Amino acid sequence: MTATTDGSTGAAIPPRAAAASDTDSTDPLAAGVPEATERAVARATEYLLALQDPEGWWKGDLETNVTMDAEDLLLRQFLGIRDEATTRAAALFIRGEQREDGAWATFYGGPGELSATVEAYVALRLAGDAPDAPHMARASAWVRERGGIASARVFTRIWLALFGWWKWEDLPELPPELIWFPTWLPLNIYDFGCWARQTIVPLTIVSAKRPVRPAPFPLDELHTDPANPNPPKPLAPLASWDGAFERLDRVVHRLRGAVPRRVRRAAMNAAARWIVERQENDGCWGGIQPPAVYSVIALHLMGYDLKHPVMRAGLDSLDRFAVWRDDGSRMIEACQSPVWDTCLAVIALADAGVPADHPKLLKAADWMLAEEIRRPGDWSVKRPELPPGGWAFEFHNDNYPDIDDTAEVALALRRVSHPVPDRVDGAIARAVRWNFGMQSKNGAWGAFDVDNTSPFPNRLPFCDFGEVIDPPSADVTAHVVEMMAAEGLAHDPRTRRGITWLLAEQEADGSWFGRWGVNYVYGTGSVVPALTAAGLPTSHPAIRRATHWLQQAQNDDGGWGEDLRSYKYAREWSGRGASTASQTAWALMALLAAGERDSEAVERGVRWLTDTQRDDGSWDEPYFTGTGFPWDFSINYHLYRQVFPLTALGRYLHGDPFDKAPLATRRGVRATAEGS
């Protein structure tokens, strides 16, 4: 372990390899790389096929951090339903994630994080861990050294306020009257990204009610000065946005008592109706755990008892986020990714040479087709005339299909020779129309909404938990461009606008920023295959710059890696980190698309993947290479380590799948072009 720029200890930055040159390259054939790759692909294919559920989907565990587990226990404590077995299993997991210095990190090998440490500590206190136990004493000392609870994020202090461990009046105000703001007014709920919107609406009820359940123990040991736990902080300068919003929050606090009770009651009722209307068929909200937790609390405060159908379904859905492990511990997933995992698995298997009419691919295609969302959701607030057609990330999330999943599902379906091609063509035609309709005015695409770029939500005092807007990103835009190219629409003016935006967004060093994956390796690995699929020659300057950057970023061991610290310290960490299977695959996918198959960089990357593969055909990957909020919320998708290496190795062996006649058939091109 080495010291990093943020003063923490984490994975050492590996040295970069020298750039590949024509003079020192070796012949992959002589080195036996293709033969080793064929063996690796065969093992990986067998392993991935065996993971498919009988219904046709794939889903790997989605690992985040211990705040999910801590907040699950706090919810159960608040509702009075916490049981000993669940508590014991959750505590076992939380203890296992603690660092030697007493803190908890939010990603593997990362620095300790204050709010995560506070929440984990409180959860272990609920589980009966004594404050003077060595692991607890280390944690509380670490918290105090960093300012105590007063320095934790707002959401952590909201949880503590539910039990009287923090004062509600010392938290930013969240008036429920926000629910009435029209869409043209700044800071209306649709100015927030869908994940933040689903969290903020129930929290307005919680903030208005200010409930307090009796605390089962004090938390004096987490304050720097228990007698004065929250000393006043100086306001930011009035001329700054932060200063303006801090003063606005003080005004809203003063007006709290001036709001007529009937007005506030009506606003809370409107917020409650909004919440209930967005509950999914499985009882969850948006397919993600945090909004579900806050929605259950808000509705409970509005008088919904725990036996009410809405509450029963909500609590049952939260149980489905639990992953019980062989050691008896219990990990909570922030969400589940079956649609995403399934389309990526189909792409990997098809690109690896599995026949397009393989029974397991057909079953996966049927499952994906059945998951198509054919009704409007929150996206239609901005696009009321746009017909629906797309896919979400999760099992149940009809309110929030996303552009990224829709693009990748279409690319996956085109790789399958379905016995009812018209069914596939119709679904993809609707997906093309919907994705084109969700294009932002700058020509690019965000994940869930159109032009979700207001600068104000991120400035609000209570929005300190990560990204709360959904601006267009290079990775999502690239996947849409790749989808359109696969449908024969690379020259459509709308696709060309996306390409123009991507070219303008390239970093000076040749990389692209990765919003939903870590980070510049993911962005570059997404954009280069899309640009070449859309017809850019491999000699294009943007492709050459990206290729050079990837070659410079390659590790001495032949792989690629990038630490999440690149989101915070881009210059030091861009394209740097311990080699991982998924990030090596992303780099290879870009280099292969750029025409670098016979280069030394590709050979060394392929060798790293074949050499690090386990005997059962899998790869190990403890590092987090997925992104929820850049830096603030990180994800380890457990299937990434399997699907992306198989995709890269398959393309190394077989080339671009859409260059092959069976997969290049564009049955739906005319329909998609005419229907969009």
- Name the pairing type of β-strands 2-3 and 9-10: antiparallel
On whether the CB atoms of residues 382 and 374 are closer than 8 A, the answer is no
Quick one: which of 52, 51, 92, 85 has its CA closest to 69? 92
Angle at 67 between CA 61 and CA 71, to 5 degrees: 105
Burial class of residue 281 (count of CB atoms within 10 Å of its CB; 0-12, 13-18, 19+): exposed
H-type alpha helices, 7-164: 28-31, 33-50, 67-79, 84-96, 114-126, 134-145, 154-161
For residue 452, what are the β-bridge partners?
470
On whether the CB atoms of residues 579 and 558 are closer than 8 A, the answer is yes
How far from each other are the two terminal CA atoms of the chain, in whole angstroms? 53
Amino acid at 462: F
In angstroms, the CA 538 to CA 528 distance is 9
Inter-axis angle of helices 359-370 and 338-351, to 10 degrees?
Answer: 150
- Residues 404, 470, 492, 563: which is the catalytic one? 404
Q: To which residue do tokens 């994956």 refer?
A: 517
In angstroms, the CA 165 to CA 294 distance is 18
Give every CB contact of residue 328 below 8 A, 6+ residues apart in sequence. 88, 89, 92
Quick one: which of 529, 448, 446 has its CA closest to 485? 529
Burial class of residue 132 (count of CB atoms within 10 Å of its CB; 0-12, 13-18, 19+): exposed
- Name the pairing type of β-strands 62-63 and 633-637: antiparallel
Question: Is 220 considered catalytic here?
Answer: no
Give every CB contact of residue 320 below 8 A, 6+ residues apart in sequence. 282, 284, 336
On whether the CB atoms of residues 311 and 305 are closer than 8 A, the answer is yes
One-character DSSP codes across 234-267: PPPPTTSHHHHHHHHHHHHHHHGGGS-HHHHHHH
Amino acid at 457: P
CB atoms within 10 A of CB 503: 14
Residues with catalytic annotation?
Answer: 404
